[in-house]
Structures are given as structure tokens and as C-alpha cells.
Structure 1
């Protein structure tokens, strides 16, 4: 099982190499912007974010307009495609307004073909010759990310070069294969839990860190729109209508699967960014009754989203654990309160009748789901007394001790 971490390294770039790196920043920005312009459409449903399609539309032109080598052109395309996809999600899924991606900052994305790692320096591809840049390491490296991850045990992967206030920084993804959980399903070390509340309406997924992801209502709307069109075509009864039904069915299946993929990727990214070792869900076998009134499509989407999250999390060495769902939506997750009553929740609103705390109901449920796993670890004797629940504002450990974000290392 692969575990991925990201570390930031300060670079000492020779003065005479600044101009060529700065030109590389600019041409990389121009390449990404060209792709974003090509993929953007005034109609949100027509935004093109498929990398292969964008490659066919832009690669030759970008190569002709810049001095970037092929791999850097591809990295710029990927960056633009991701930005277009995020805009598309915000517009279609979350109902937000989004403008065309505009690339203004200094950033270049490097892969194995454009960066060479050494113990004390890297060489970077540019619009001209390669540039050698040495690492600026802390005087006392003990306990730093550099000391922990810049070792032979971790494989160095993709990196992103940034320039801030005249200083160059390299953000490097490092990866290591680790042993999975043992046969009992328990890890032997303490960890951090991300609680996740999944839904068939409203937000698809809400995390204990306060991330509201996806729009189940929009997903259902697209499904209803597809069903209406299919019904109208079925009434037509022609061969052409039959072929159209197959075509729109395939398109909708691809779209819905891709949409769930994006949401699951965002959930796992939230876990990675908070250094979580586990994601907690409600036990699917225990919540079938709660979603029994949902359509077959909604039930499929619920299960599929959970499945996507589980296998994507595994790629980062993050477990997916299940907890009993009883009262997670009725219990107050604030501090030591824990007051549980069915009248605490009213639709999307949660207001504790005892302590008065007001939260979004799904966010409150996500906190309870994650907390239940932390408490389970503590009570089961799994050796995780210092396990923590990842919250929007900090960490809460199994003993109830809270650490604000600003105080965490």
C-alpha cells in the first residue's frame, strides 16, 4: 500500500538562472492559459476538461508558441484541465458562479522527465538549459519534514516549483509502500480520523473538517432530466429514437460516474491534507433502512461514492472504517455536550436544545461519525489513546483534549 506525503523545500537558485526560470514560469503560464481558453465555454455544460481532447486541440499550437519541452506542455495542459474541471463542478454541482480560469502566479509542474532529484540539489528543465538548484535545509533538521521524508525509503515523484517574494520553493510529492492493516483490521499506531457524512440529497459528502462536497440534488436533477428524455424517445418508437436512447444512456452513465469520482477524490484529498490515517463512514448495512425510500439510482450513487472513496483512500495508506449510525444526526457534537434528542435537528439545521450550539446538520453528523471511530479505538484497546478527530478548527483526541489549528505542528 502506497503512502504519499508532500513536503516543501526552499531552493538556492544561482542569480544568473533567475531570468531563465522566470521565463519558464511565464511560458508555462501562457501554455496553461491557452488550454484554459480552448476548453472554456459560455455554456457550463460545454466546458471541455478531458485531457485527451484538450491535448488534441492545443498541443501543436502550444509547442509552436513556446520553447517548453513536450513534458512541460503536457503538465500545463493537465493543470488547466484540472482547473476547468473544478469550475465545471462549482457551476453544475454546487450552483456557484465561476469564471474562466486565469493563470497569474509563478508555478511550473514537473514530472520524472523534467526534474532530476539528488540528495542536496535538483536539476530543472527550463525553456533553455537545465538549472541546478541546491536545497536550503534547516540548521537543525531533526523532526523536520525534510529529515523524515527526504530519505531513501521515500520515492520522489511529481513536484511543483513556486516563486514567492523572490524566493523559489519546490513542493515535492514523496511516496512509500507500507504494510496494510493486519488481518484484524486494526492499525498498530495512533491516527487521525476524518468523519464523513454521505447523503442522497443535499450535499453528497460533508466532512468533519467542514468540507461540503458535491450536490446530490443536482445529480438527481440530471437523472430526472435523462429519464424524461428517455421516456419521450420511447414513445416515439423509431429505430433512430432507440439508438439515441442508448447514446444518451451511455453519456449519462459516464457523466454520473465521473461526477462521483470527482467528489470521492475531493474527500480523499481532504483526508490527505489533514494527515488522516482513517476515514469514518456510517455502516452501510445499518443505514439501508434510512435510504430505503431513495430511488435505486440514489442508492447506487450512495454505494458507489463510498466505494470510490475507499479504494482511492487505500492508495494513500488511509483506512476506511465503519461505525454504527445510531443518533449521529441527533447528537450534539460540540465540546463535552453530547446531548441527544430528535428535535435537535430540523432539516439542514442543527441546534442543540441543551447547549444552544448551532451547526449545519450534516457537518454535525460528520463530526459524530468521526468521533465514534476515535472512541471505538480507545475502548477496544487498540492502543490509540492519543488518536484524534480532524475538525475544521483543529484536532480533538480520544481523551477530549482539543488542539486548535494554530497550535498544531
Structure 2
């Protein structure tokens, strides 16, 4: 399939049999073992890093097959994911930028058609203990037409090519983020010609909205990607604080030195964790072929957690700072919007009400649209940015209003079509 074909990512909630849930967790553990072993082998400070997927597979495949019970395809996927990350790191080193060995700890497993089958109402996923059949949790058939699942997954024009399996710790739920491609899509010749003649600017920009969170997933994108665990980050911080307080109560010089030591180690760990999550986000932006990454502005984030931890405020500010720094070597840009009411607004119909959201669940009181609340907010962040540009604000990508709008509307990164009259 043509890699240049347009892509859409459709997140699908899975109903996994209770007796097979452990198999999926085991798959994740062994998949991350493959990626981290490959990264450690390929990342060589004193010599040169290995960025050839063939070399890595020849050197590591047999060993990793013996160490895990994964199928051949999943082992290969793990190796290749790590080599892609190492290759990106090498490019940074060539430009004199600071980076470190890629590390993988987010809950995710990459599947393609050799290790998974994508059916109308279920998927089968390869695990160390055979395939697991997972039913899709879907809205009623008559309500799917205006959802990403109905527009793309059920369309004959779009083909499911791969998927990333993820797990939500807070709601104890598995999600399959299916990537679909349309190989027959062609840009209208007239629009292409107009775009190429406009002073090297882009007529139609595509952006990725990002919602940052104190609980649940650390960052959720408008493509339905759930990155990192805010709960895990908080847990690690709490562990450090508890130990620090115990040592303070001791009051000895030795205890004071130990506090300094563990503080330094936790600081290094936190920064490394945020670096890896920033890499995950940029990889998602590049996979989705977007032009810009849009965050909620930091003032709003600080207000949201004003009564919470200063560490959380630092973590979100540092995360955005890292993303801004890392995109300097890419064609991406970073911008922000005021996210007021993005958590209460329905990304499907626009109805805004505080009763729409209940913790991590979102159900529109007007149209009945149900979706993960953070995913809904991420889509609203992207849509709000598109609205800003439509009303005349110039984007960081250099777009003017006339260059962003399509003839009949705007298509955001999640594939949600917005008629032009609704953008103003």
C-alpha cells in the first residue's frame, strides 16, 4: 500500500474476555522487552549507533524469539520500532542536539495484518498464548454514520493496515487504535496547483490537538493516541516524597545527604520520562502526517492544578518545553489555544454543558455522542485552533485564513469534517 496515502486513526474500545486479559498484558511486557533490548544493543555512545533494521534483526531476532513467546511478526515489530527511535536520535546527535538512548515503558503493542485480523465487529490479536478474539464496543448501528468508525472503518474506501493496542489503567480497559489508509485518494488537480503557487505557503494545514491530564493518560491526542500515564508519574513522585519525609524526620547528616541523592535521581528519572513521552508525541504527529501540535496554554494548566502539586505544574511546562525543543529539527510547529470549556463541549455537535462530562466519560446531553472525555477535549483543542485561523489569526505554520480553509470546509487531523459556515 502506498505510504503516501492519507491515513486516519480510529480508536475502538475492546471487550476482552476476562480469562484472556492477562495474555494481552503478557504480550505488552514481552513486546517492550524486545524494543528495549534492541535499543540498548543499537545505541552505542563510544562507537556508532546501529540504524539498520536488517542488521538488528539478523543480530537479535533469534535471541528475542527464544526469550519471549511472541510470534515472529511481533518480535520484528518490536525491533523495528526501537531502530526507528534510535535512527531519530542519531539525526539529533548529527545536529549537535542532546539526546539519550530511547527507552520504552508506555503500554502499547504494534500489530499489522500478519499478527492481527480486523473484522467488522471484532479483532483477533496474537499473544504468547494464541490469538485473542476481542469484540468491539460500538454505538448502535444507526448512530455510527457520523462517527470515525462509521466514516472510515466501515467504509469500503479505507483499509485497516495496522493498529496499536493500548490499555487505560484508570478504567481498566483495552483500546485498539486502528490506522486506515485510502490508496485511491487523489488531491484535486486544481487545488494542488493553487496551493503550489502561493508563495511557498500551505493552503491547508492539519493540526494535532493534545489534552494534558493530571489523572489517566498523561497526554491524549485528537487522533486518539493515549500517551504515558499521569497516575504512574504521580505514584513515582509520591514514593519519593514519602521517603524524603521519613529521612527528614531522622534529621541526621547522613539522612540529609541521602535526601539530596534520591532527589537528584528522581529529578533525572522524571526528566527522562518526559523526554520519552515527548518523543512518543512527536512520533504520533509524524505518523499522522500533521503540520503542527496544539496544546492548551500553560496558564490554563496551572489554574487547573493550582491546588495540586508544584511538581505537576513543572512536569506539564517541561513537557511542552521539550516538545517545542524537539520539533525544531522537524517541519512541525507548536502552538497553543485557550482551552476554556473544551472539556464540556461536544466535539461532534458543539453543544456545551458541564453535565456532558463525568470524570473520564463524555456523553453529550444534546446529541448523545459518547467518547473518552480527554479524547473529546483533544479534538476540541484542534478544532479551536482551526477556528482561530479561519477568523484571521495567522498560524505558526505561516497559514493565512484564506489558505487554511477549504472550498467547502476544513478537515482536521482526526478526519472530522467541519463545514465552512461552522468555523466562524
TM-score (norm 1): 0.54
Once the two structures are superposed, residues 3-22 of structure 1 have per-residue CA deviations (whole angstroms, 9 ceiling, x without a partner) of xxx879xxxxxxxxxxxxxx
Pick aligned residue for 1:319 from 323, 327, 333: 333
C-alpha distance in structure 2 between counterparts of 1:250 and 1:239, whole Å: 17
Using the size of structure 2 for normalisation, the TM-score is 0.52
User: For the residues of structure 2 that align with 1:72 and 1:359, how far apart are their CA atoms?
Assistant: 40
Alpha-carbon separation, structure 2, partners of 1:369 and 1:205: 13
Q: Deviations over 1:365-396 (max 9, x none)?
A: 000000011111111153210353111xx353
Tell me the equivalent position of 1:384.
404
The aligned counterpart of 1:17 is none
- The runs of 5 or more residues in structure 2 that have no matched partner are 6-28, 88-199, 393-399
3-state SS of 2:304 partner: coil
Deviation per CA, 1:8-38, whole angstroms, max 9, x where unpaired? 9xxxxxxxxxxxxxxxxxxxxxxxxxxx99x
2:404 is paired with a residue whose SS is coil
Report if the CA contact (8 A) 1:281-1:321 is conserved.
Answer: yes
**How many Å apart are 1:40 and its aligned residue?**
5.7
Match of 2:324 in 1: 310
Cα drift, residue 261 of structure 1: 1.2
Q: Residues 33-44 of structure 1 correspond to what in structure 2 (within 5 A)? A: none
Measured after TM superposition, the shift of residue 285 of structure 1 is: 2.5
Unaligned 5+ runs, structure 1:
1-5, 9-35, 42-46, 61-68, 85-97, 112-185, 402-409
**How far apart are residue 213 of structure 1 and its match?**
0.9
Q: Which residue of 2 aligns with 1:230?
A: 244
Shift of 1:232: 1.4
Match of 1:360 among 362, 372, 378: 372
Task: Give me the whole-angstrom Cα distance separating, in 1, the residues matched to 2:75 and 2:39.
Answer: 22
**Distance in 1 (alpha carbons) for counterparts of 2:294 and 2:404:** 15
- Distance, in Å, in 2 between the alignment partners of 1:379 and 1:230 is 51
User: 1:341 aligns to what?
Assistant: 353
Q: Out of 373, 376, 381, which is 1:369 matched to?
A: 381
Give the whole-Å Cα distance in 1 for the aligned partners of 2:202 and 2:33. Answer: 48
| 1:194–1:99 Cα change, 3 Å | farther
**Aligned partner of residue 420 in structure 2, secondary structure:** coil
Give the aligned CA root-mean-square deviation in angstroms.
Answer: 4.2
The residue number in structure 2 matching 1:350 is 362
- In 1: Cα distance, 2:209 partner to 2:362 partner: 17
Give the 5 Å matches for 1:177-192: 188-192=202-206
Q: Which string of whole-angstrom CA distances, capped at 9 and with x for unpartnered residues, describes residues 234-280 of structure 1?
A: 22233332332222112111111111111111111111111110111
Asked whether the 8 Å contact 2:38–2:56 carries over to 1, the reply is: no
> What secondary structure is seen at the aligned counterpart in 2 of 1:359?
strand
Matches within 5 A, 1:71-86: 76=56
Residues of 1 paired with 2:266 and 2:235: CA distance? 12
Q: In the comparison of the two structures, how many residue pairs are matched?
A: 260
Following superposition of structure 1 onto structure 2, how do residues 1-400 of structure 1 map, counting pairs within 5 Å? 51=40, 76=56, 104-105=75-76, 188-334=202-348, 337-380=349-392, 381-382=400-401, 383-386=403-406, 388-391=411-414, 394-396=415-417, 399=420
Shift of 1:284: 1.7
Deviations 1:197-230 (A, max 9, x none): 0112221100000001111111011101011111
Deviation at 1:316, TM superposition (A): 1.6
After TM superposition, give the deviation of residue 314 of structure 1 in Å: 2.9
Q: Cα distance 1:206–1:187, how it changes in 2: closer, same or farther (>3 A)? A: farther
Could you tell me how far 1:400 is from its partner in structure 2? 8.0
Q: Which moved more, 1:365-374 or 1:300-309?
A: 300-309
Change (3 A) 1:99 1:206: farther
* Contact 1:328–1:365 (8 Å) recurs in 2: yes
- Counterparts of 1:356 and 1:50 in 2: how far apart (Å)? 45
Q: Is the 8 A contact 2:295 2:337 kept in 1?
A: yes
Q: Which has the larger radius of gyration?
A: 1
